[in-house]
Structure 1
Amino acid sequence: MDISRLTDAYLHRIGATRPRHADAAALRELQARHLLSVPFENLSIHLGEDIVLEEEALVRKVAERHRGGFCYELNGAFSALLRGLGFPVVLLQARVLGPEGTVGIPYDHLALLVETEEAGIARRWLTDVGFGDHSLYPLDLDERGDQKDPAGTFRIVETAEGDLEVLRDGTAQYRVGTRPGVLADFRAGAWYHRTSPDSHFTGSLVCSRRTEEGRVTLSGDRLITTAHGGRQERLLEGEKEILAAYRDHFGLRFDRVPEVRQPSVGGV
């Protein structure tokens, strides 16, 4: 993998410059720009595209193909970018928590632990560009008090089992383990989410991106925009309008409209 060239292409995709130092300020800037530029989307599942959990394939998808992805892809690619810029990164497995306390499968979600050091002080950050609507900035992994963010008030609490739960405005989002992982560990989770009828990714189309004012989401033929607390929903008419929405709001250029399809069992 041509790391330097792909790193430059990746930075160009998210509108960022190569940071002089791998510090907390640079990490904040990179995460925010990523979320504002690269959509969270599950379209590969419905376009019949392979989802390859290998660094080069993930980076090329974001940097060269100008696509997004779901958590394994986005955080997998972002971890490669950060390493290329000198940040120490650890992959962490997480399990999404449902509204009634249900817990997702093991390796349900991929999050990142990123380390920075300034003035001899080491800090650890929970970094996540692959959870859809989540914190704009990294969360201090060792802080147990409230952490204010443009997306809400976050808190990280320890569980009796030694895991960490991430709460947003008092509601648990996911439970993250602290054991380091590698991309291959997440293949079973990715396979489940692209093939199982129980996965929320196989039954619907999702394409969503944070904006400066709020969020824009395209789900099938419904375009939903939120800005400054307000919400608007518009039904798009016909293939031409849907393709234009993918292009104009997400930078995605397709020759046909993605449609929900019955998933086929295959490798990841």
Structure 2
Amino acid sequence: MPSQLIPQQEPAPATSGIDLDAYFQRIGYTGDRTPTLETLRTLQRLHTESIPFENLNPLLGLPVLLDSESLQQKMVQRGRGGYCFEQNRLLSFVLQTLGFRVRGLAARVLWNVPEGSVKAISHMLLQVEVGPESYLVDVGFGGLSPTGPVRLELNTVQETPHEPFRLIESNGELEVQAEVRNEWRSLYRFTLREFLLPDYEMFSYYLCSHPNSYFLRSLAVARTTVDRRYGLRDTVLTTHHLGGESEQRELRSVAEFRTALEEIFRLTLPDTPDLDKALQKLIDQTAEEK
């Protein structure tokens, strides 16, 4: 990628108050604490394995808070997950505390969007610098979150622990693509303009309150392991085997939902009676649609 596309930046001060010991225990990290590429790769892989993508808070009408203390309480201490703004902001605090230079970016989602449609900016990702190189880091894209950093370099196929990724230029912007079943699929489009907390709070508020928001009426949960990806969309649980086939089964009871969320996605579920009501509503909606 031409160097002029990559803004220079100063190291961000580590003022987030992040508890590195607790975070590392949550994701099972015992490695080095220096800002190297190997550290970044390991943290991104372990984060996607340990802290699942999930939208239970919007679905249940609970607030989504993006300050460092709230993110730590929810995803580190209480064993929950979150969506892109939560996931990537938490990781950004960790990386800054370790000494990485991090900038917040934002994107328009293209995945499963009809060609020609324009969606609002609704996704957060990170630009992380390691020495002279800049990398794209994203632990919050659900079922296709990259499990390794992607170098900010155009038209280069880059391997990750799961799918290959690449960056292409599209109408003056950057587009992230993943190779899925031997086909390049676009995930989202973005620029290198920096976004800040008030921007993310506004984007997140839209996802939590707009009547057309997918997160208010549907459930999306995802987690990776070394050799597979797990995904849950409403009542359909999918297991994607790395380099192999996919399996699907339908969850038909609240008990099955709870088992999947706790055992497959390793979530500590919120203690509220509204959860069972919301899960039953998804089951009833699916039955009505058939």
TM-score interval for Structure 1 and Structure 2 normalised by the shorter chain: 0.7 to 0.9
Going from structure 1 to structure 2, the CA distance change for 1:105 and 1:220 (only over 3 Å counts) comes to closer
Partner residue in 2 for 1:130: 140
Cα distance, 1:24 vs structure 2: 0.7
Which residue does the alignment assign to 1:198?
A: 212
> What is the correspondence of 1:149-168 to structure 2 with a 5 Å cutoff?
149-161=160-172, 163-168=173-178
2:166 match: secondary structure: strand
Structure 2 residue runs of 5 or longer lacking an equivalent are 1-14, 282-290
Aligned sequence identity (%): 36
Q: 1:37 to 1:154 in 2, by over 3 A?
A: same
Report deviation, 1:99: 4.0
Partner Cα separation in structure 2 for residue 244 and residue 176 of structure 1: 37
Residues 258 and 245 of structure 1, relative CA distance in 2, 3 Å threshold: farther
Contact 1:220 1:259 in 2 (8 A): no
State the alpha-carbon separation in 1 of the partners of residues 155 and 71 from structure 2: 33
Partner of 2:194: 180
Contact (CA 8 Å) 2:154, 2:167: kept in 1 or not?
Answer: yes
- Kept in 2: contact 1:96–1:104 (CA 8 A): yes
Q: 1:26 to 1:35 in 2, by over 3 A?
A: same
User: Are residues 1:9 and 2:19 paired?
Assistant: no
Matched, 1:236 2:222: no
Quote how far apart the aligned CAs of 1:193 are: 1.2
TM normalised by structure 2 equals 0.80
Structure 1 residues 212 and 176 mapped into 2: Cα distance closer, same or farther (>3 Å)? same
| Separation in 2, partners of 1:34, 1:202 | 25
Matched, 1:36 2:46: no
In structure 2, the CA distance between the partners of 1:232 and 1:142, relative to structure 1 (3 Å rule), is: closer
Distance 2:260 2:129 in 1: 37
Contact 1:126–1:139 (Cα < 8 Å) also in 2: yes
Report Cα offsets for 1:243-265 as digits up to 9, x if no partner. Answer: 1221111222334436178xxxx
Equivalent pair of 2:148/2:160 in contact (CA under 8 Å): yes
Instruction: Determine the structure 2 residue equivalent to 1:226.
Output: 240
**Partners in 1 of 2:259 and 2:252 — Cα distance?**
11
1:214, 1:221 → 2: CA distance?
19
| C-alpha distance in 2 between matches for 1:183 and 1:258 | 33
For 2:158, the equivalent position in structure 1 comes to: 147
The residue number in structure 1 matching 2:265 is: 250
Pair 226,114 (structure 1): closer, same or farther in 2 beyond 3 Å = same
Question: Residue 76 of structure 2 aligns with which residue?
Answer: 63
Letter in 2 for 1:178: L
**Amino acid aligned to 2:135:** W
1:114 aligned to 2:136? Answer: no
Count of aligned pairs between the two proteins? 254
Of residues 104, 118, 123 in structure 2, which corresponds to 1:91? 104
Is the Cα contact below 8 Å between 2:80 and 2:268 reproduced in 1? no
Residue deviations 1:18-47 (CA, integer Å, cap 9, x gap): 524211111001000001111111111122
Hey, which of these two has a bigger chunk of helix by percent? 2
- 1:103 is aligned to 2:103: no
2:278 is matched with 259
CA contact 2:154–2:169 (8 Å) conserved in 1: no
Q: What is residue 264 of structure 1 aligned with on the other side?
A: none
C-alpha contact 1:76 1:183 (8 A) present in aligned 2? no
- How far 1:150 moved relative to its partner? 4.0
Residue by residue over 1:81-123, the C-alpha shift from the partner in whole angstroms, topping out at 9 and shown as x without a partner, is: 11111111100011112241423213x1100001112xxxx11
Secondary structure of 2:93's aligned partner? helix
Root mean square deviation of aligned Cα: 2.1
SS at 1:21 equivalent: coil
Question: 1:49: Cα distance to partner?
Answer: 1.4
Indicate which of 226, 238, 255 corresponds to 1:212: 226
CA deviation after TM superposition for structure 1 residue 143, in Å: 4.4
SS at match of 1:259: helix
* C-alpha contact (below 8 Å) 1:205/1:259 kept by paired residues: no
Query: In the alignment, what sits opposite 1:78?
Result: 91
Q: Distance in 2 between matches of 1:240 and 1:26?
A: 39
Report the Cα distance in structure 2 between the residues aligned to 1:220 and 1:159, rounded to whole angstroms: 33
